[in-house]
């Protein structure tokens, strides 16, 4: 009978997948001689580990792979999405009270953006759904610094030239005009750095307020700012589901 393919991971990834810490932290443990594989001291983070067979220890204690967790956080403005900030600003990790495993963010939100942030230790799922080919829709509520014309909204819809290439078509809805500002809802399937802010800047406007109100099937409903909840099994299945090619039902 054919043997199953071994599931290989680098040692730093293996430790971070186990929910013990970030890959950066894992590399420092490995470098400082705290990690053994099958009883042998390994000090190179790129060492390959067979998930099914190899026995890994940290400070002599066996490392077990963590249970998968999927958390949806309502990120407040003023929190960064990296694990540690050299400037000491608050991080989203300080809001995950009661979560013992290390969860990575699925995409990022800027310091000044609030709204939905998905976090998980399922790195395969995170990689899959952040790939633009997965076409996971993210909807943002935007307060623009100016009033925007219908032509400008069409430009956002059709794709806008940014320094890293044109944006893919977006769904754009004018919510209302109030005083000197247009409020709009924009849905994109990419997740480039500061994408919505740069799209507005390309129109000679600016984002004054940005809230991510939807990720695929997930909305802010039921969450207050700073709060998190687990995804339901049905939501996990929906998020992972590959989008159907256009024109099929
Ligand atoms: N687009 C942005 O400009 N910022 C975010 O945080 C998310 C999307």
pLDDT at 231 over 90: yes
Rounded to the nearest whole angstrom, what is the distance from the C-alpha of residue 168 to the centroid of ligand 1?
15
C-alpha 150 – ligand 1 centre gap (Å): 22
> Ligand 1 pocket test: which of 160, 186, 210, 213 has the largest number of ligand atoms within 8 Å of its C-beta?
210
| Cβ contact 162:192 at 8 Å | yes
Average pLDDT over residues 63-89: 91
Domains of the chain as residue ranges with CATH: 8-62 (3.10.290.10), 70-132+218-231 (3.30.70.580), 137-215 (3.30.70.1560)
- Whether the pLDDT of residue 244 is over 80: the answer is no
Q: Which tokens is 194 given? A: 């500061």
The answer, yes or no, to whether any atom of ligand 1 lies below 6 A from the CB of 190, is no
Residue pair 212/116 in contact by the 8 Å Cβ criterion: yes
Q: Is 136 in the pocket of ligand 1 (CB under 6 A)?
A: no
Catalytic residue chosen out of the listed positions 85, 100, 110, 204: 110
- Tell me what pLDDT residue 44 has: 95
- Given the CA of residue 140, which atom of ligand 1 is nearest to it? 8
In this predicted structure, what is the pLDDT of residue 215? 97
Output the pLDDT for position 168: 96
pLDDT tens, residue by residue, 166-223: 999 999 999 999 999 999 999 999 999 999 999 999 999 999 999 999 999 999 999 9
Task: Give the 3-state secondary structure of residue 49.
Answer: strand
Residue 83's pLDDT band (cuts 50, 70, 90): confident
Q: Is the pLDDT of residue 67 over 90?
A: no
- Whether the pLDDT of residue 98 is over 90: the answer is no
* Residue nearest atom 3 in ligand 1 by C-alpha distance: 194
**Of residues 18 and 72, more confidently modeled:** 72
Q: What is the structure's pLDDT at 245? A: 58
Average pLDDT over residues 141-160: 98
User: Ligand 1 test: best mutation among 74, 201, 212, 213, most atoms within 8 Å of CB?
Assistant: 212
Ligand 1 centroid to residue 64 C-alpha, Å: 35
Question: Which residue's CA lies nearest to atom 7 of ligand 1?
Answer: 109
Q: Measured from the CB, is residue 210 less than 6 Å from ligand 1?
A: yes
pLDDT reading at 164 higher than 90: yes
Instruction: Identify the sign of the CA torsion 213, 81, 130, 199.
Output: positive
Rounded mean pLDDT, 27-56: 92
Q: What is the pLDDT of residue 39?
A: 94
Q: Indicate whether residue 13 lines ligand 1 (CB < 6 A).
A: no
Report how far ligand 1's centroid is from the alpha carbon of 113 (Å): 7
Q: Structure pTM?
A: 0.80
CA–CA dist 22, 172 (Å, integer): 36
pLDDT at 1: 40
List the alpha helices (DSSP H) in the chain.
11-17, 23-31, 123-130, 150-158, 195-201, 233-240
N- to C-terminal Cα separation, the chain? 39
**Is residue 100 annotated as a catalytic residue, yes or no?**
no
Report the chain's mean pLDDT, rounded to a whole number: 92
Task: Please tell me the predicted confidence (pLDDT) of residue 4.
Answer: 44
28 φ/ψ angles, rounded to the nearest 5 degrees:
-70, -35
């Amino acid at each position: 009978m054919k043997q199953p393919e071994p599931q290989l991971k680098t040692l730093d990834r293996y430790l971070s997948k186990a929910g013990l810490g970030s890959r950066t932290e894992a590399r420092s443990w490995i470098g400082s001689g705290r990690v053994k594989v099958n009883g042998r001291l390994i000090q190179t983070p790129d060492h390959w580990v067979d998930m099914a067979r190899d026995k890994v220890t940290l400070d002599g204690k066996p490392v077990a792979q963590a249970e998968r967790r999927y958390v949806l956080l309502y990120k407040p403005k003023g929190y960064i999405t990296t694990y540690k900030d050299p400037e000491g600003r608050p991080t989203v990790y300080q809001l995950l009270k009661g979560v013992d495993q290390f969860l990575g963010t699925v995409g990022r939100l800027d310091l000044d953006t609030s709204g939905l942030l998905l976090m998980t230790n399922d790195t395969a799922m995170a990689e899959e759904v952040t790939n633009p080919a997965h076409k996971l829709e993210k909807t943002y509520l935007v307060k623009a610094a100016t009033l925007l014309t219908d032509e400008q909204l069409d430009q956002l819809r059709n794709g806008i030239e940014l320094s890293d290439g044109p944006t893919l078509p977006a769904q754009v809805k004018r919510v209302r005009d109030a005083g000197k500002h247009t409020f709009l809802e924009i849905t994109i399937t990419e997740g480039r750095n500061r994408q919505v802010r740069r799209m507005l800047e390309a129109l000679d406007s600016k984002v004054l307020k940005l809230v991510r109100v939807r990720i695929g099937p997930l909305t802010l409903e039921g969450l207050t700012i700073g709060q998190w909840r687990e995804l339901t099994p049905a939501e996990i299945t929906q998020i992972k589901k590959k989008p159907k090619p256009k024109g099929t039902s």
